[in-house]
Structure formats: C-alpha cells, structure tokens
Chain A
Amino acid sequence: MSQKIANKVLLLGWDAADWKIINPLIDAGKMPYLERLINQGAMGDLETQKPILSPMLWSSIATGKRADKHGIFGFTEPKPDGSGIRPITSTSLKCQPIWNMLEHSGLKSAVVGWFATHPAHAVSGTVVSNHFAQPSGANFEQWPLTPNTISPKSLEATLADLRVHPDDIGLSELIEFIPQAAELPKDDKKLISLVKLLARCMTLHGAGTYLAQHAEWDLLAVYHDTLDLICHDFIEQRPPKMDHVSEKEVEIYGGVVDAMYCFHDLMLGRYMKLVGPETTIMIVSDHGFLSDHRRPNVSAHTQEGSPVEWHRDHGVLAVRGPGIKADSLVFGANQLDITPTLLQLLGLPVGRDMAGKPLSQILAQPQAAQWIDSWDDLIKTSTTVEDYEEDPWAAQEMVKQLVALGYIDKPDPDATKAIEQVTQQKYASLTEVYLSTNRFKQAQEYIELQLAHNPANKLARLRLARCRLKLDDIEGCKAIADQIVAGNPDTPMAHMLYGQIYSAQGLDDLALECFLKAEQAGYELPKVRYRLANIYLRRQLWLQAEAIAEGLLEHDDHNARYYHVQGMALLGQKRYQEATIPLMQAVSLRYDLASAHVDLALALIGQQQHNTAINSLHNALKSRPNTTRAHTILARLYKDKGDISRSSYHYSKSQVKREKLVSTNNAMTPHGR
C-alpha cells in the first residue's frame, strides 16, 4: 500500500455544475463555502467524454473507465426477460466501482444517490441507491420506501424518515428560488418541477449528512442531479434573455438556477462543518451547462427538447484537504482521472487498465502513485458464469434466440420497440466512445448496426463517412458521401463533406474551394472555419489562420482545438512566446491532444526551454505513444544533451512509424470527385 495522503474523502457529485455560472456567484459573495474551499485547495476544469450522458459519465467517474469497459450506456437497459426496459442497475456495471475497491482493501465506503447503485445490496459498503429519493404517493405517509434502496437494511427506518416529500415543501422554501411563487397558480408546471427537485435534493442531502455523521467511512460519495435538472428546466429563462423567452418568464424564473447553486453552497457548508478540515473534500461535475451566447436555439427540456445539446464539454473539479496544494489551478484534468486520484489519496494502487491517471499536480508534495494491473482481476479473479447473471443485454440475446426458436412468444410490440430503441442508444453511445478515442474500426461496426436498423439515419452515415476517411478508405468514404448528398452536390453539407475528402487526400486547392463555398452558405460556421484554418496552416498562410482562430475563440473560449490552431499560427510566425499561451490552454483543456503537446514543445524550444519541451513531448507520448513528431524531436533534443541512449531509442521509434507511413502513402492514390 502506498502512503495515504487523505484521512477521509468526501466526494460530492454535482451534476452539470459549471464554473461559468459559479465564478460570477463567487465574485458576488454568493457561494462563500465553495470560495473558501477553492482558496484552500485546487480547482480546474474537468473534461467530459462523448456522448455527454450522465449515467455513463458518472459510472466513468466511479470506475476510471470508459463506457465500453464499464457497460453503462444510458439511462435504461432491457429487462432480462425481454418484457420491456428498466432503469440501469448496479448489476449492469461490468467493472469494479471505487467503493468496491475500498471495501476489498479493508477501507469503508458509503455512497448516496450515485447512478448504477440500485439494487443497493449488490454494491459493497453502505449504499443509498439512486432510486431512494424517487417519491410516490400524495404525501410522506403514502410514500413507502422503495425496496432494495438501502444497504445495510438496518439503516432503512432511519433514512426513510429523513426523506422529504414534495408535499413537505412550503412557500417559505420556494420564495428563495421564485420570489413571486405565492402569486403563481398551484398547477404551474415550472413550480411543480422546482418543488419535486428541491424535495429530491433535500432527501439526498439528508441521507448524505446522516451518513457523514453516523456511518463509518473512508470515502463518502454523494451524488446530486439537481443542478442539471434545474438547468434543463430553467436555464432558458436565466438572463440574458433569449429571443424565444418572454420578459415575464425571465422576471419570474430567471433567478432559479443561481438560487439552486447558492443552495448547493449551503449544503457544502453543512458538510464542511460536519467533516472538518481534516477530511478531504472533492467536488466534481460530469459536464457543464451552456449559459451564455452559445445557448442553442432548441429547448433544454429533458422531455420535449434536445437536452444533450446544452451540455458543455467541461465540468468542475475543486478539492481541498491535507496534502492538497492550496489556491492552485489544475490543468488537463479528465473525469477518468477521478478514481485514480481518489485511490492515490487513500493510499491504494491505481489500476493500469484505467483510462485516467492520478492528478499528482494537486498534491503539495507530489509523490509517485502505486500501480496494479487491474482491480477487476483482484476482486474477481476469473470470468465466471456468474458474471453474466444479471447482464440485461446478454439476457436480451437469449430472449431473441428463444423467440426465433418458437419457445416463447414474441414480446409485446411496445416492449420490442422500447428495447430496440434502448439498444440503438447503446450502439450510438458506443460509436461515440470509439470515435472520441480514435478507434474507428470498432466505431464502424456499431455504425453499421445502426444503419442496419435504420438505413436513413443521416448522423450514422456521416459518422460512417468519417470513419472511412480516418481509416484511409477514401473510395468508401466517397461512396457514402455520394449517398448522403443524393445527387445534389451543390448543398453546403456536400461542400463540407467533399472538402474533408479532398483535404484528406492532400488536394488543398479543391478542399479550400469546397470549404469556402460551405462558409459562404453559412453552414455550421465554426466547423467549416476550423477546417479552413487547418488548410491555411498547411499552406503556411499563418495570418489567415490566426484571424480565423481569433474568431473561433470569440465563439467558444473553451475549445482546445481552437487554441491549438491559434498556437500553430503564432508558431508558424516564430512568435514563440505568444504561441506558448494558447498551446498551454489547448493541453489544459484537452490533455490527450498529443499534437498540441508537440507544438507546445516547439514553442518552448524556440525560447530555449529544452527541458520543459522534453516534458511536453513525453506528455504527448503518454496520450499517443506512436506520435512520430514527438519521437523525432526527442531524439534530437537528447542528442544535443549527449544522452545517446535515449536519443537512439526515440530515433528508432520515429523510424518505425515513418516506415509505416511511407508504405501507407504508397498504397494510396488520390481520387477526384
């Protein structure tokens, strides 16, 4: 066991918490507890994953693994008997969550409200499942405790009493969020929504604070989805006024989001008093929520709108406690890093099979983490039949087989449809996971399954085109592009598609022509301009690229790729010092952006900072071990330092990749439209 840095850790999961909303509230003195926490510790952006679906993301936060490993793809899954769908279950998690790792190591864990913790008895430690706060009945007396929501059962009576039913929420609570609440009709939909969310939030807080005081724990993890749900219902009414929202709505509901953030600050304050300064407190969110000029022109509502479009790529990370660097900033943190970081803080080894890394930069005195191959191997030594016992996806396959054999009736058509939808959702989620991690072959397999179900799925076809492009199947990509544009090559989308194909073939003149036409038509301007900027960079038209980057950053100042373009444009002009700033921004927002690390190294070399450049190049190789440019530059830098052994190593690595590239390029022939 490595050295334990934290005595105990309180992990607060605030779904969708966003610095863009928090920072002005802190500046106004409205979130004093969070302000104190970040002054005492470290804070930064926490990069999300695609698709931005909360159950998937919170399962990654709790396991350090992506969805293709942990098996949670959305909110629902098929019922094993094929009779319909159900909310995701704890038994569907395909790898060990951190609470199981702790319990296996003799430490104590308690978890409240986290996704995929129901039924509670299937999870190690003290568990209040994510079904606990779901109210039923007209009032508290008519609200039976949902079975299997609490483990151990000895806590059931106490925690059941701490629940807050929507019926218990009175006007005095509501006017803190909606000052005119008394004047609203009782059936006001937004008021009803607020009442329910407030009751849910207070129920989870009640359970969390009770366990904080009375349970034995080394890690207490409490999840709240209130900020996310409040934003989905009220962010459109938050100032500045959106075109489709009336002045009256802004006046009535405009303060709800901010008030709920302040309410979370009060809850944090309560925890700070309960656990004391000797306990490490970490606050994380799975994604942010658009609250500025980037708010889309579609409803944010979870039922009627396009909720995921409102999710921003960066959530929050704030941590304070013994051994944590005070008043510091964290760069390049990803939600996959949370479990590895917690393990290091609690003196436990990190799994090499985890996708994240311990955030050693938050430590006042950095120390090396201990590693093991896999917690999954340690806790479950072999894949047994039992592993599949409650796998709803697997059970669904059995149902299909038995229906085909004529041994059971076809499920109800509505159930079949629901299962098909949830299965397609799984395929779409897996596609995005594979696309976002450059695993294009696997992505292609799942896209083809989606197209087999619905050949008209345009998004799937666009993604298939992208995969083929990335897999150097230019002809295959062109065939799909031809299908998508359906004989109408003069549409903006066609220009964008063919522009990308030409660009991949190195036919920059043709690509430029296409992108300019798409830009002229106003097609998805940031995307088109980003492509244009890359063509300008390739043609060494640095000033044009710089101008586009500035425009892109005005649109979105949290996009790593836009900073990267700006950095490259400045680098091309040998403005090394200026280039360093956007390139550092790029890697702090997207730590896995290997090419940005390499360009940052070039900017540092331009300033004679060779040692720092070497670090940056190694960071690039951590993300993508076969980055040829990184190996080439490292070979040169080590040679200059007289380290021939390292220089030779990186030289040989650069040649391996180069040979592959040469053979691939020889096999490719350019194709015109």
Chain B
Amino acid sequence: MAIIIVSGLPRSGTSLMMQMLQAANIPLLSDGQRVADEDNPVGYWELELVKKIKTDNSWLNNADCHGVKIISPLMFELPDEHQYKVIVMKRAMPEVLASQRTMMARREQQGSSMPDTLLTKVFQQQELKLSRWLTTQDNCRFIEVHYGQLISEPARQVDQLIDFLQQPLNHTAMINCVDPDLYRNRQGNS
C-alpha cells in the first residue's frame, strides 16, 4: 500500500502521467477545479488541497493506492507516516521554460524576471534537491521518467512504470495516452 505521487517541475509532463495512471485504472485524487485548456487539452488532474499541504495534509490519510500530482517544491512537505511511490517527471529545461512562458502568456501572468540561463539553474537545483531528498526518505520509492523518452518509446517506459508500481496495469491503455502531437511548446513553438 502506498500513495502514488506524480511529481516534477510544472510543464515537465506531470499531467500526461496522471492521464496514463487514470487509463491504467488507478484512482486519482483530483477535484477538477482546474479545467482543461489550450495548455493541457486533456486536463490537469490536480487537487487544490495539494497547495495547502503545508498547513493541512489530512487528505493524505485516505490516499493510499491513489494517484496525486504534487509539483516538486511541495514534495518536501509530505508527512513521514505514509508510504509513497513517486514518479518524477523530467524534461529538457529549455522545453520546460518555453512551455511555462507560453502558459503564462495565455494566463496573462508575469513570472520571474530572471533570464532563462539563471532560471534554468534554479530549476535544475530544484530537481537536484528533490532527488537528494527522495534518496534520504525511507518511506519513498521513486522512478524518474524522461518526457522525451516517454514520447519516443512509450512501450518501454510503460513497462518500467508497471514494474515500478508492481501492479497489473493496462499497458495498451497507458501507451495510447501518449500523443506525439502533445509534444508541443518545444523550444517555444506552441
């Protein structure tokens, strides 16, 4: 028994992974408040309560065997009393930043004023911090999934995922979620 967490930086493929888990019949913790849009046409699969995890993590008490998306900066707030299987999404940093920029432009929001070179280092540091932290947590097992590889060789990646989750999952349904057309916003082209 463990809570299945999909983590990573925003725009690293976390929503795609959530969709794959749903296709594999893993129940998801998602409230549907953040609805599908141009940035995530199939949906975000998010839970607003996740944002409050620092002050209220009681919702995790009923989360065993469920999948939930928690972006990397919030992972460090996970309480010790649960077991977690963490799928960490990785994606080439220029693609992550380009995708974030496009999304912020659509939302008419202004993010960091840092140049991409520095912001890349900040996010790389975040990834490194999460990796280090996960290796020191006795209650966490984790696997890293690279978005580019998931798109180019989904069958192999799904095999590894099923092996990691140690559950009989619908291999084909999971692969079918991977739509190369969704591999967008690469290098800023949305």
| Across-interface contacts of A409 in B (CB, < 8 A) | 51-52
Q: Which of A370-424 contact B (CB under 8 A)?
A: 385-389, 391, 394-395, 397-409
| Across-interface contacts of A405 in B (CB, < 8 A) | 10-11, 100, 103-104, 107, 109, 111
Instruction: Tell whether, in the assembled complex, residue B52 and residue A404 are in contact, meaning their CB atoms are under 8 Å apart.
Output: no
| Across-interface contacts of B135 in A (CB, < 8 A) | none
Q: Which residue of A lies closest to B99 (CB)?
A: A405
Q: Which of B62-111 contact A (CB under 8 A)?
A: 71, 73-74, 100, 103-104, 107, 109-111
The 8 Å CB contact of B122, one of A81, A83, A395, A403, is A395
The 8 Å CB contact of B112, one of A386, A388, A397, is A397
Asked whether any CB of chain A lies closer than 8 Å to the CB of B113, the reply is yes
Instruction: Tell whether, in the assembled complex, residue A398 and residue B104 are in contact, meaning their CB atoms are under 8 Å apart.
Output: no
Instruction: Tell whether, in the assembled complex, residue B51 and residue A394 are in contact, meaning their CB atoms are under 8 Å apart.
Output: no
Instruction: Tell whether, in the assembled complex, residue A404 and residue B71 are in contact, meaning their CB atoms are under 8 Å apart.
Output: no
| Across-interface contacts of A402 in B (CB, < 8 A) | 10, 71, 73
Instruction: Tell whether, in the assembled complex, residue B124 and residue A385 are in contact, meaning their CB atoms are under 8 Å apart.
Output: yes
| Across-interface contacts of B36 in A (CB, < 8 A) | none
Question: By DSSP majority rule, is chain B's interface helix, strand, loop, or mixed?
Answer: helix
| Across-interface contacts of B42 in A (CB, < 8 A) | none
The 8 Å CB contact of A401, one of B100, B121, B129, is B100
> How many residue pairs between the two chains, A and B, have CB atoms under 8 Å in the bound complex?
74
A634→B103 CA distance, assembly (Å):
61
Instruction: Tell whether, in the assembled complex, residue B109 and residue A404 are in contact, meaning their CB atoms are under 8 Å apart.
Output: yes
The 8 Å CB contact of A397, one of B54, B71, B113, is B113
A386→B125 CA distance, assembly (Å):
6
The 8 Å CB contact of B128, one of A389, A403, A406, is A389
| Across-interface contacts of B119 in A (CB, < 8 A) | 397-398, 401
Say yes or no: A385-B110 contact (C-beta < 8 A), given A405-B10, A405-B104, A407-B10: no
A402→B122 CA distance, assembly (Å):
12
Instruction: Tell whether, in the assembled complex, residue A388 and residue B109 are in contact, meaning their CB atoms are under 8 Å apart.
Output: no
Instruction: Tell whether, in the assembled complex, residue B111 and residue A394 are in contact, meaning their CB atoms are under 8 Å apart.
Output: no
B37-61 near A? 1/0 per residue, CB < 8 Å: 0000000000000011010000000
The 8 Å CB contact of B111, one of A385, A389, A391, A400, is A400
Q: Which of A385, A387, A398, A407 has the most CB of B within 10 A?
A: A407
| Across-interface contacts of A391 in B (CB, < 8 A) | 122, 125
A311→B9 CA distance, assembly (Å):
46
Instruction: Tell whether, in the assembled complex, residue B107 and residue A406 are in contact, meaning their CB atoms are under 8 Å apart.
Output: yes
B20-43 near A? 1/0 per residue, CB < 8 Å: 000000000000001000000000
Q: Which of A403-452 contact B (CB under 8 A)?
A: 403-409
Asked whether any CB of chain A lies closer than 8 Å to the CB of B114, the reply is yes
Instruction: Tell whether, in the assembled complex, residue A394 and residue B121 are in contact, meaning their CB atoms are under 8 Å apart.
Output: yes
Task: Classify chain A's interface size.
Answer: 20 to 34
A402→B96 CA distance, assembly (Å):
12
The 8 Å CB contact of A385, one of B34, B54, B112, B128, is B128
Instruction: Tell whether, in the assembled complex, residue A406 and residue B110 are in contact, meaning their CB atoms are under 8 Å apart.
Output: no
Say yes or no: A404-B121 contact (C-beta < 8 A), given A81-B73, A385-B128, A409-B52: no
Say yes or no: A404-B73 contact (C-beta < 8 A), given A389-B128, A409-B52: no
Instruction: Tell whether, in the assembled complex, residue A408 and residue B107 are in contact, meaning their CB atoms are under 8 Å apart.
Output: no
| Across-interface contacts of B128 in A (CB, < 8 A) | 385-386, 389
Q: Which residue of B lies closest to A81 (CB)?
A: B73
| Across-interface contacts of B100 in A (CB, < 8 A) | 401, 405
Q: Which residue of B lies closest to A387 (CB)?
A: B121
| Across-interface contacts of B52 in A (CB, < 8 A) | 409
Say yes or no: A398-B126 contact (C-beta < 8 A), given A81-B73, A388-B121, A408-B73: yes
Instruction: Tell whether, in the assembled complex, residue B125 and residue A394 are in contact, meaning their CB atoms are under 8 Å apart.
Output: yes
Instruction: Tell whether, in the assembled complex, residue B112 and residue A401 are in contact, meaning their CB atoms are under 8 Å apart.
Output: yes
Q: Which residue of A lies closest to B126 (CB)?
A: A398
Asked whether any CB of chain A lies closer than 8 Å to the CB of B142, the reply is no
A407→B100 CA distance, assembly (Å):
11
Q: Which residue of A lies closest to B114 (CB)?
A: A397
Question: Smallest CB–CB gap between B188 and chain A, Å?
Answer: 16
The 8 Å CB contact of B118, one of A83, A394, A400, A408, is A394
A389→B128 CA distance, assembly (Å):
9
Q: Which residue of B lies closest to A397 (CB)?
A: B112
Instruction: Tell whether, in the assembled complex, residue A389 and residue B107 are in contact, meaning their CB atoms are under 8 Å apart.
Output: no
| Across-interface contacts of A398 in B (CB, < 8 A) | 73, 112, 119, 122-123, 126
| Across-interface contacts of A385 in B (CB, < 8 A) | 121, 124-125, 128
| Across-interface contacts of B51 in A (CB, < 8 A) | 407-409
A404→B100 CA distance, assembly (Å):
9
| Across-interface contacts of B123 in A (CB, < 8 A) | 398
Instruction: Tell whether, in the assembled complex, residue B114 and residue A389 are in contact, meaning their CB atoms are under 8 Å apart.
Output: no
A419→B8 CA distance, assembly (Å):
26
Instruction: Tell whether, in the assembled complex, residue B107 and residue A404 are in contact, meaning their CB atoms are under 8 Å apart.
Output: yes
Q: Which of B1-23 contact A (CB under 8 A)?
A: 10-11
A671→B103 CA distance, assembly (Å):
48
A404→B74 CA distance, assembly (Å):
16
Q: Which residue of B lies closest to A394 (CB)?
A: B122
Question: Smallest CB–CB gap between B88 and chain A, Å?
Answer: 16
Instruction: Tell whether, in the assembled complex, residue B110 and residue A404 are in contact, meaning their CB atoms are under 8 Å apart.
Output: yes
A409→B73 CA distance, assembly (Å):
12
B128-142 near A? 1/0 per residue, CB < 8 Å: 110000000000000
A398→B123 CA distance, assembly (Å):
7
| Across-interface contacts of A400 in B (CB, < 8 A) | 111-112
| Across-interface contacts of A394 in B (CB, < 8 A) | 114, 118, 121-122, 125
Question: Smallest CB–CB gap between A194 and chain B, Å?
Answer: 40
A400→B128 CA distance, assembly (Å):
20
A406→B51 CA distance, assembly (Å):
10
| Across-interface contacts of A395 in B (CB, < 8 A) | 122
Q: Which of B74, B104, B122, B123 has the most CB of A within 10 A?
A: B122
A537→B18 CA distance, assembly (Å):
76
Q: Which of A81, A395, A401, A404 has the most CB of B within 10 A?
A: A401
A408→B73 CA distance, assembly (Å):
9
A403→B73 CA distance, assembly (Å):
12
Question: Smallest CB–CB gap between A211 and chain B, Å?
Answer: 32
A403→B100 CA distance, assembly (Å):
11
Q: Which residue of A lies closest to B97 (CB)?
A: A401
| Across-interface contacts of B109 in A (CB, < 8 A) | 404-406
Q: Which residue of B lies closest to A82 (CB)?
A: B73
Q: Which of B10, B71, B110 has the most CB of A within 10 A?
A: B10
Instruction: Tell whether, in the assembled complex, residue B122 and residue A408 are in contact, meaning their CB atoms are under 8 Å apart.
Output: no
Question: Smallest CB–CB gap between A536 and chain B, Å?
Answer: 46
The 8 Å CB contact of A388, one of B10, B11, B103, B125, is B125
Question: Smallest CB–CB gap between A38 and chain B, Å?
Answer: 47
The 8 Å CB contact of B74, one of A388, A389, A403, A408, is A408
Question: Smallest CB–CB gap between B136 and chain A, Å?
Answer: 15
A–B Cβ pairs within 8 angstroms, 9 of them = A388-B125, A391-B125, A397-B112, A397-B114, A397-B118, A400-B111, A401-B111, A404-B112, A405-B109
Given contacts A81-B73, A402-B10, A409-B52, 14 further A-B contacts (CB under 8 A): A385-B128, A386-B128, A387-B121, A389-B128, A389-B129, A391-B125, A394-B114, A394-B121, A399-B73, A401-B100, A401-B111, A404-B109, A407-B51, A408-B74
Please give the residue numbers on chain B whose beta carbons come within 8 Å of chain A beta carbons, in ascending order. 10-11, 34, 51-52, 54, 71, 73-74, 100, 103-104, 107, 109-114, 118-119, 121-126, 128-129
